[in-house]
Structure 1
């Protein structure tokens, strides 16, 4: 499926990441009319990327809600600070695809559900695990399984992350084996 970048004219996309963001968006035709701002940020707390609804659109119609994906401008790769856009393309597509999976989840939530989601995400580790599972499931179901695996492999084995960070990732996110099983099950259904 190849959509053109004019399809996403309503979205604000940083030039450095335009190609990978459009490739990731192409897997989500349901998001073609959804307004999403992709913003490079110097300071994202404990994260490389975050997807959230824009606060000023939270209390209106769900159909008019807009979203923000914050992307850290830099990544610590084997102890060296690297501009995020220099990471491998498949890794970035997987990472962005995962964040778009969160937005797919948000589309189905009313305002109170979104508020409860935010509280749950800030206060409950089991809620975080569930939310990350949903985002990965959306990504795999939209055909991004290989990209999600590339991202997980990069984080767990190539990026030179601390053992503490790797343990956190292993606790909160689906393991590669479960992603592969989801991909197998999806291919059997297709």
Structure 2
């Protein structure tokens, strides 16, 4: 069913048509999120990020099963002097980014409302906590068979000639490295070609 903002409603998911294919692929790796209400919404700009997952505040203190979540996606990805439109990002990279954000939602689902508030405060105030949270989201994604997509996203960022070394170093510092992702995949014993 179409909304005025050219989004699609699929039972409990609201997905902009521009990223429908990528979201569906990422969600297919997370059967546990089938019953979880998630809205994917474009936003003009997100500070220091391209995507951001969070619980909707209105349901923060509801029972964990009744919470809904929001994944905000920047219409353009701006890093220092370089800007990408969402249409310029390769599909597999976008799937990896979405898979990472769904990993955050998996993490959030197990937390109480108070714990989520504390999580938000720590995320804003502690770089050590940011690293822990981002690595956990990457791990959820890899554990859900998204290793190749997460690697594609890392490769896009780390090896992109026009992105600043400062930004690349931040990604290297806070997120799983390609080697760590490959080690996780190996430990999971996925058959070849089923990452």
Q: TM-score, normalised by structure 1?
A: 0.91
Residue 39 and residue 109 in structure 1: after superposition, are their counterparts in 2 closer, same or farther (change >3 A)? same
2:4 aligned residue: none
Contact 1:78 1:159 in 2 (8 A): no
Q: Match for 1:172 among 130, 151, 174?
A: 174
> SS at 1:12's partner residue?
strand
Indicate the residue corresponding to 2:67 in structure 1.
65
CA–CA distance in 2 between the matches of 1:21 and 1:46? Answer: 22
**Of 91, 97, 100, which residue of structure 1 is paired with 2:99?**
97
Contact in 1 for aligned 2:51/2:71 (Cα 8 Å) = yes
After superposition, the C-alpha distances for 1:93-151 in whole angstroms (9 at most, x for unaligned) are: 00000000000000101111111111111111111111111101100000000000000
Alpha carbons of structure 1 residues 183 and 50: separation in structure 2 relative to 1, 3 Å? same
Q: What is the TM-score of this pair, normalised by structure 2?
A: 0.89
Q: Alpha carbon RMSD of aligned pairs, Å?
A: 2.1
Determine which structure has the larger helix proportion and give its number. Answer: 1
Do the aligned residues in 1 keep the contact of 2:54 with 2:105 (CA within 8 Å)?
Answer: yes
Unaligned runs of 5+ in 2: 1-7
8 Å CA contact retained: 1:97, 1:139 = yes
Comparing 96-105 with 67-76, greater Cα deviation is found at 67-76
